[in-house]
Amino acid sequence: CFRRYLLMSLTSCLFWNTFSFSAAVDSKPNILLFLADDLGIGDIGCYGNNSIRTPNIDHLAREGVKLTQHIAAASLCTPSRAAFLTGRYPIRSGMASSNRYRALQWNAGSGGLPANETTFARLLQQQGYTTGLIGKWHQGVNCESFSDHCHHPLNHGFDYFYGMPLTLRNNCQKNNPPDLDAALQAKLWLYSQIITLAVLTLTAGKLTGLISTRWKIIVCVTLVDGLFFISWYSSYGFVQYWNCILMRNHDVTEQPMNLERTAFLMLKEAISFIKRNKHGPFLLFVSFLHVHTPLFTTAKFLGKSHHGLYGDNVEEMDWMVGKILDLLDKEGLKNHTFTYFASDHGGHLEAQNGSAQLGGWNGIYKGGKGMGGWEGGIRVPGIFRWPGVLPAGTVIDEPTSLMDIYPTVVHLAGGILPHDRVIDGRNLMPLLQGRAQKSDHEFLFHYCGSYLHAVRWHQKDSGAIWKAHFVTPVFHPPGAGACYGKKNCPCFGEGVTHHDPPLLFDLSRDPSEAKPLSADTEPLFDTVIGKIGRAIEEHRRTLTPVPEQLSVYNVVWKPWLQPCCGTFPFCWCDKEGDSTQIL
Please give the single-letter amino acid code of residue 9: S
Q: Which residues contact 533 (CB under 8 A, 6 or more apart)?
A: none
Alpha helices, H only, 414-494: 429-433
Please identify which of the residues 1, 46, 77, 306 carries the catalytic annotation: 77
CA–CA dist 118, 401 (Å, integer): 18
77 catalytic per annotation: yes
Please identify which of the residues 1, 13, 138, 279 carries the catalytic annotation: 138
Q: Let me know: does 555 contact 138? Beta carbons within 8 Å.
A: no
Q: Let me know: does 337 contact 29? Beta carbons within 8 Å.
A: yes
CA–CA dist 170, 359 (Å, integer): 13
CA–CA dist 345, 36 (Å, integer): 9
CA–CA dist 471, 492 (Å, integer): 9
CA–CA dist 221, 277 (Å, integer): 62
The continuous run of DSSP H or E covering 84 comes out as: helix 77-86
Pairing of strands 379-385, 337-343: antiparallel
Q: Let me know: does 119 contact 156? Beta carbons within 8 Å.
A: yes
The continuous run of DSSP H or E covering 533 comes out as: helix 525-541
138 catalytic per annotation: yes
Pairing of strands 30-36, 337-343: parallel
Q: What is the DSSP letter of 196?
A: H
Pairing of strands 130-136, 160-164: parallel
Please give the single-letter amino acid code of residue 475: F
DSSP for 91-128 reads HHHT-S-SSS--S---TT-S--S-TT---HHHHHHHTT
CA–CA dist 217, 199 (Å, integer): 10
Q: Vertex 354, ends 349 and 356: CA angle to 5°?
A: 60
Alpha helices, H only, 294-453: 308-330, 375-378, 405-413, 429-433
DSSP for 397-436 reads -S-EEGGGHHHHHHHHHT----SSS-------HHHHHTS-
Pairing of strands 356-357, 352-353: antiparallel
CA–CA dist 206, 368 (Å, integer): 56
Q: Let me know: does 396 contact 346? Beta carbons within 8 Å.
A: no
Task: Report helix angle 308-330 to 259-276, nearest 10.
Answer: 20
Catalytic residues: 77, 138
